[in-house]
Structure 1
């Protein structure tokens, strides 16, 4: 469907249209009248026998304030690519399920496919690359909770934005304004202590002394964030409690991790209030480093904030974010509203320049990449170094990756000079989930594919395997 956010490909999204119709309490006849099409056409769309046209997308936006990205991102189980990653688990290796079967399954029985995905994700895959998280993993539980909200919490944004506007009237220095509010409203003072006093702690609330104690290792943006984080635990407690209760976590650790994420979300929203931040994004072409200077935030803080811009009627570009170490292990993964599989899988492709960022510390590496299903993304990667290192201590360094679908990237400052319709680096979702046969960087065959060994020839890739 050209012009509807799918890069010219036909968009089969009957599941999303059916869900919207039922949420509005409409029959197919009523939905057809609102979309100015026949009832039989609505029925065919919902059964994935007709694509969603650009005209229908426009009517959905006008009549329901509908986000068209949800048509592609809200597929059962995350869509065909996500379902194939689950089916790549070794337990299904003997079934030899090909791509066409997966797509037919999603079209014919979207509810059953979604149920399979939910059970598989809940039980876990044993930790295999390209599969679902291991069961009872609190980090996986929290990621799923954040994913359900697309990392946008409207109540937290509204609360933080209202306070930011109030504080802005009295002071230009946000850190000073937050410190004053903590002192006057909550009888808490902020005290920055030498590292010898807080050798292993960056932030501590001492209720006996009525102090928020911060380490001198923290830089200006980190101190502002720490103060705002403490304020969130007090002034946004009702909103945070409601969100946590709604998830009904079984594991106490998952509940605490989610609560910490929400407090951090509120703190970032206070530093970068939604409306002002979105205006800044649009005015600068989402220039991450310039936005950081404008809002007194670090690169990683801005990158995370970019994944939260899903306010109804005022949506930003659908960014995803990931943070990895030199070993490729991820410590943060936020797909946001992008629905990008790049950050949802455990495995990653060495051809993605996310890993190259460590070779040029502090520089932004931009790349146009293309996945096996044809989805294209403009990605940016840069190293970040937490300000917690002492002389002689262990160096800490991460690479933060950001990305957005290429179809939305024309106004990006980082995309200037890129031919978004030209050649892109072909990447996969980790060797065990990737079926590109001609990759010279391959380290393992795809899960469920039999190796083929030919002693008479040596191809570019040392590992060849049976096809679909």
Structure 2
């Protein structure tokens, strides 16, 4: 609470109404004046630590839930929805949205739910399940403090037994859980990278996995065995409507624990700050892959020991994203389902294994420093299909100065690529790369002229 102010007026109002209290009655219970409580409910005063403690004591709720209780996900989440071209003619600023949430929190929440439902109409059930999981992950800002703490303690314990993490995990599985690890030829596991054979008490791993992936697979199994209670609690607390969402979320949390075991929080953050977040050095130091390190960078949000707020994307050559985490970045580049082809994230496929840097500027003049590199999750057999993705990391350019990758780059006024959030959401005129007009705009035609793009719209 000392690090940032907590404005949770809508949540306090819900607590009061659910208990059938007037503002006067609740103010008396919290030992504050009714006028002060009114200011809190209107988000004109933050919750102090003392009032938060009284709320928790008198009304029996988890204080951590306040941070996730803002209608519609809060001002920034509502702004992202209102960035849809459908609302392009409306001039809604941050102050108006704050007033809306304070004055009519249920209406703001209803709008958010309706927008999310309509914008996703026609999607497959699996996509809806993934969207629900993404929303839950972002609610936590992809930082699960209890899992991190448990993984860190376990990592310290394993280091005392064996400096080689993979060997230490294998020994722990064997001694404590009577589970051995066996590496099998691809002919034996032709279509699997991992299999748990409980009858033989074996964790069977494919020889296709590289050392980092083998360690991750072994750490994931240890998470299933030793962090089950914590993971079960998080899954239950998410209260998903679909079974598929629960499974996707459980998989994410298991992977989170495995990554935290390989890259323990305090040691990893020190290494990040000491190396300028040099990903290649971090890979070598922690025996991890590029994608594993990139994902871990989005999770560094421990209170009192925060890392830089990165976002991460993983796309294929068609531009489809299979992973995206906003973390604490609040970047619209993650939220958008479409991406601008001018963003050099896509050119990483032209230089496999090389780091591609880019400075981009959105239509609202915000600048983001991004890096990208191709990855191949696992080796393929000769003549077979080998998966390839581009993993991109990004950070607000104003915060990128500590990065080794950003040295020598003018982050504030240097050249930046002007991009949008996909053609349908972008209103930049005369873009030669444009493949579609912006949604919600009226097209105009002039047979006597031809611009850089065939699309011209009213108000341009």
After TM superposition, the score normalised by the length of structure 2 is 0.83
Alignment of 1:22-33 (within 5 A): none
Structure 2 residue 392 is matched with structure 1 residue 401: yes
How many Å separate the matches in 1 of 2:98 and 2:331?
21
How many Å separate the matches in 1 of 2:166 and 2:8?
46
Structure 2 residue 346 is matched with structure 1 residue 347: no
> Unpaired runs of 5+ in structure 1?
6-12, 30-38
> How far apart are residue 145 of structure 1 and its match?
1.2
The SS at the match of 2:378 is coil
Alignment of 1:69-468 (within 5 A): 75-76=74-75, 78-85=77-84, 88=85, 93=86, 97-101=88-92, 105-110=96-101, 111=105, 112-122=107-117, 124-126=119-121, 137-422=128-413, 423-467=415-459
Do the aligned residues in 2 keep the contact of 1:122 with 1:135 (CA within 8 Å)? no
Do the aligned residues in 2 keep the contact of 1:285 with 1:413 (CA within 8 Å)? yes
> How far apart are residue 247 of structure 1 and its match?
1.1
- Which deviations, in whole Å up to 9, do the C-alpha atoms of 1:108-141 show, x marking residues without a partner? 312233431133224543369xxxx989621111
How many Å separate the matches in 2 of 1:396 and 1:84?
34
1 or 2 for the larger relative contact order (CA 8 Å, sep ≥6)?
Answer: 1
How many Å separate the matches in 1 of 2:268 and 2:423?
38
> How far apart are residue 405 of structure 1 and its match?
0.7
Using a 3 Å threshold, how does the CA distance of structure 1 residues 17 and 208 change in structure 2: closer, same or farther?
Answer: closer
- Which deviations, in whole Å up to 9, do the C-alpha atoms of 1:328-357 show, x marking residues without a partner? 011001111111110111100011111010
- Which deviations, in whole Å up to 9, do the C-alpha atoms of 1:425-454 show, x marking residues without a partner? 111111111111232211111111111111
> How far apart are residue 97 of structure 1 and its match?
5.0
Segment of structure 1 superposing worse, 455-464 or 351-360: 455-464
After TM superposition, the score normalised by the length of structure 1 is 0.82
How many Å separate the matches in 2 of 1:154 and 1:104?
32
Do the aligned residues in 1 keep the contact of 2:78 with 2:112 (CA within 8 Å)? no
The SS at the match of 1:368 is strand
> How far apart are residue 407 of structure 1 and its match?
1.2
> Unpaired runs of 5+ in structure 2?
17-22, 28-35, 54-63
Using a 3 Å threshold, how does the CA distance of structure 1 residues 202 and 159 change in structure 2: closer, same or farther?
Answer: same
Using a 3 Å threshold, how does the CA distance of structure 1 residues 19 and 282 change in structure 2: closer, same or farther?
Answer: farther
Do the aligned residues in 1 keep the contact of 2:181 with 2:202 (CA within 8 Å)? yes
Using a 3 Å threshold, how does the CA distance of structure 1 residues 375 and 235 change in structure 2: closer, same or farther?
Answer: same
How many Å separate the matches in 2 of 1:348 and 1:358?
15
Number of aligned residues: 425
Using a 3 Å threshold, how does the CA distance of structure 1 residues 165 and 388 change in structure 2: closer, same or farther?
Answer: same
Do the aligned residues in 1 keep the contact of 2:174 with 2:180 (CA within 8 Å)? yes
The SS at the match of 1:331 is strand
Using a 3 Å threshold, how does the CA distance of structure 1 residues 16 and 451 change in structure 2: closer, same or farther?
Answer: farther
How many Å separate the matches in 2 of 1:135 and 1:76?
28
How many Å separate the matches in 2 of 1:160 and 1:251?
28
> How far apart are residue 18 of structure 1 and its match?
4.5
The SS at the match of 1:465 is coil
Do the aligned residues in 1 keep the contact of 2:75 with 2:94 (CA within 8 Å)? no
